[in-house]
Structure 1
Amino acid sequence: MARTQGSHSDITGPRVREAALNLFARHGYAAVSMRKIAAEVGVQAGALYNYTPDKQTLLFELMRAHMEELLAAWDAATPPPEAGVRAALEAFTRFHIRFNTRRADAVFVSYMELRNLDPENFNVIEGLRRDYETRLEAILRRGVAEGRFAVAEPRIAAMALIAMLTGVNTWFRERGRLSLAEVEALYWDMVRRAVTNQG
């Protein structure tokens, strides 16, 4: 049977989420209506409610999916303990840059739209962010315990380093002067110098 005009049989949840993510990144959550998301997908606004109850849920699910993917990807990429703490820190540095530069819109929305989450949703996302920061904090604490790193406040240092690494997204361009591998190497050198007394 032919699809009637205005039907939502050809919509998928991923298409709705992709459209919402692009619009939130481009215009900001507050400026994007469900009607605008529907127009981006090419359907009537009412069809969206088959995939999400409201715009707040859509924002929350986008942020949660990004953080859960980030955590799972790092856990899968974490070097074994025998590789050493320096190797773990280098791996984290390179992983964070590489993962986030491939997901610029998701990173932007995850940081810039936190203020628009309802309190309950905010607490969930903040918990996931703390989980990720704790991964780096554990590396720093291990380095301090082994006498390899000189970090007075590992928790604060972890947050500062993550902020610095995430900042690559604000300026890196694929066709720029530096390749992503060169950027990773430069940032690893800065991270290394920031946590050690060695040159």
Structure 2
Amino acid sequence: MARTTGSHSDITGPRIQDAALKLFAAHGYAAVSMRQIAGEVGLQAGALYNYIPDKQSLLFGLMQRHMEELLAAREAEREAVGEGAGALAQLEAFTRFHIVFHLDRPDAVFIAYMELRNLSPGNFAEIERLRRVYEDELEGILRAGIASGEVAVTDPKLATLAVIAMLTGVTTWYRPAGRLSRERVAEIYWDMVRRSVIA
């Protein structure tokens, strides 16, 4: 099938992803049709398949992109903090990073958590693998903190999941025009995380 006149894969592909992100976040993956996505981008429904094999691939691509961007940004942030920092300093950096990164991407965060159930088993396994990379870093920080006496949690894995769930929840209520700045939100969340893990 020929590509739509005037379209470019490097432009139209990202536009399709952005449209799908918006529609999935607003209506849910199951309720959104490929026809709706095509209409949002200004394509005929059939032309959409020149850019994406199917809706499942589109959902997986959105989640994969989110996780890969998260891991790449986190790697750059970790290098900036330095490996020699203590566990609490690393935990603070992780907390503040998580808040700032996710506040910029509420739709991607919503899809990454709420639409996992709609992934095929193979795609689910890959997204879970990427999530574990991120979770393992935080668990490693907590375990290092336990070893150094800076942190006191009885189950580092459970504490990891609890902290990430608490931090990620910020995207459900935060509004830029609200009474708290992003910096103040990060400060308050860090205080809550710190209190939850120290003796």
TM-score, scaled to structure 2: 0.94
- Distance (Å, rounded) in 1 between the aligned partners of 2:119 and 2:6: 28
Q: What is the count of residue pairs matched by the alignment? A: 192
Any stretches of 5+ residues in structure 1 without a counterpart? 1-5
1:12 Cα shift?
A: 1.8
- Distance (Å, rounded) in 1 between the aligned partners of 2:6 and 2:121: 32
SS at match of 2:153: coil
- Distance (Å, rounded) in 2 between the aligned partners of 1:20 and 1:82: 42
Tell me the residue number matched to 1:7.
5
1:7 Cα shift?
A: 3.1
Identity over aligned pairs, percent? 64
- Distance (Å, rounded) in 2 between the aligned partners of 1:47 and 1:7: 10
1:9 counterpart letter in structure 2: S
Q: Does the alignment pair 1:161 with 2:163? A: yes
- Distance (Å, rounded) in 2 between the aligned partners of 1:101 and 1:60: 21
2:21 counterpart letter in structure 1: L
Q: 1:58-113: CA deviations, max 9, x gaps?
A: 00010011011101111110121222211110000000010001001000011110
Equivalence map 1:56-71=2 (5 Å): 56-71=56-71
Q: Tell which deviates more after alignment, 161-170 or 73-82.
A: 73-82
- Distance (Å, rounded) in 2 between the aligned partners of 1:101 and 1:44: 33
TM-score, scaled to structure 1: 0.94
Equivalence map 1:38-53=2 (5 Å): 38-53=38-53
- Distance (Å, rounded) in 2 between the aligned partners of 1:109 and 1:159: 18
- Runs of 4+ off more than 4 Å: none
SS at match of 1:143: helix
Any stretches of 5+ residues in structure 2 without a counterpart? none
Equivalence map 1:103-122=2 (5 Å): 103-122=105-124
Tell me the residue number matched to 2:194.
192
Tell me the residue number matched to 1:21.
21
SS at match of 1:12: helix
Equivalence map 1:22-101=2 (5 Å): 22-78=22-78, 79-101=81-103
SS at match of 1:178: coil
- Distance (Å, rounded) in 2 between the aligned partners of 1:17 and 1:194: 38
